[in-house]
């Protein structure tokens, strides 16, 4: 799914992808461009990607931006266990991005999601 441009700011669009846990909600803005990695934004918890929409509109003018809800937040399904390590959430985000056909990306997170982003980056170092 790619963001349509309305005026100078890209439209933020909603989507859902199936994961082992159930449906995961994500937002996207901007258009995918060959040779350019998308930017994955991770929201602070307990929040949702909805809080990232203003940043997505700005950043989406230059690149494709994707912001998935962390499991148990926003419109995404809740994991079966409520006491899971950050690595679990990093893996869940990587599986969601894989289901969207995204293998390489830049990632940015705040608060707990910054730790999730670090775990995602470490995954690629293994």
CATH number of the domain to which 47 belongs:
3.40.50.1820
Report the C-alpha gap between 77 and 11 in whole angstroms.
25
Total domain count for the chain?
1
What was the pLDDT predicted at 5? Answer: 46
Share of the chain above pLDDT 70, in %: 92
What was the pLDDT predicted at 2? Answer: 46
Range of the domain at 98: 5-125
Q: Is the pTM of this model over 0.85?
A: yes
Tens-digit pLDDT profile for residues 54-67: 999 999 999 999 99
Rounded mean pLDDT of 106-117?
A: 94
**Other Cβ atoms within 10 Å of 47 Cβ, number:** 16
């Amino acid at each position: 799914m790619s963001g349509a441009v309305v005026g100078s700011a890209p439209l933020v669009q909603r989507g859902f992808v199936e994961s082992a846990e159930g449906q995961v909600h994500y937002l996207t803005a901007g258009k995918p461009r060959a040779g350019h990695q998308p930017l994955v934004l991770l929201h602070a918890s307990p929040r949702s990607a909805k809080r990232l929409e203003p940043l997505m509109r700005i950043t989406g003018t230059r690149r494709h931006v994707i912001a998935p809800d962390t499991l148990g937040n926003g419109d995404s399904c809740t994991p079966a266990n409520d006491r899971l390590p950050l690595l679990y959430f990093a893996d869940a985000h990587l599986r969601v991005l894989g289901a969207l056909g995204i293998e390489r990306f830049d990632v940015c997170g705040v608060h707990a999601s910054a730790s999730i982003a670090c775990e995602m980056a470490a995954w690629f170092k293994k």
